[in-house]
Structure 1
């Protein structure tokens, strides 16, 4: 299983970025290999429109099974995510990636349906 996190940094101690489309980094944890992979998404900050759908495209390339974020995707991004067959969990506010992962594993995050 591959779990993607919206993040403000690149390590387990980084905070979850509550934003989906304009997240600074996407960090993917591969449960089997125990490896973290990071994608720098900071260039998206300069986009006037379409940040959410551009981030969805990057997620498509990373092929995660799960997305953990703070607020969740906006309307356009949600429509695009629907086609990725990815489980989305929200409410990981004020958590590090490690805390969000533990909350996900213990069923404390809210799963949203698109």
Structure 2
């Protein structure tokens, strides 16, 4: 049997990284016997399907509450902002033809389909 070289030391700040709260927990971990001698705390993502035994073991210990409560999933503000921009861009794209037609009519010097108050 191959021994996992990563002994789990201190574990802090566990937080779910998926909305279902089943697949991934982010935490800060120290590994006292890290093979490369790294002793400072490391951000670690523990998963039940991790290819490494220490990742699966840490996930199980976190879920069991060994390191305290796991903070709930919080959607990243950058993700929320990106979704809002995408919705905005879709709405703008859906009406761009109307803006283009209005400007074309103005440039051609013909009466516009929309009056100024409607166009705003």
Normalising by the residue count of structure 1, what TM-score does the alignment of the two structures yield? 0.29
Q: Which structure has the larger Rg over C-alpha atoms?
A: 2
More strand by share: 1
More helix by share: 2
Q: Quick one: higher RCO (CA 8 Å, sep 6+), 1 or 2?
A: 1
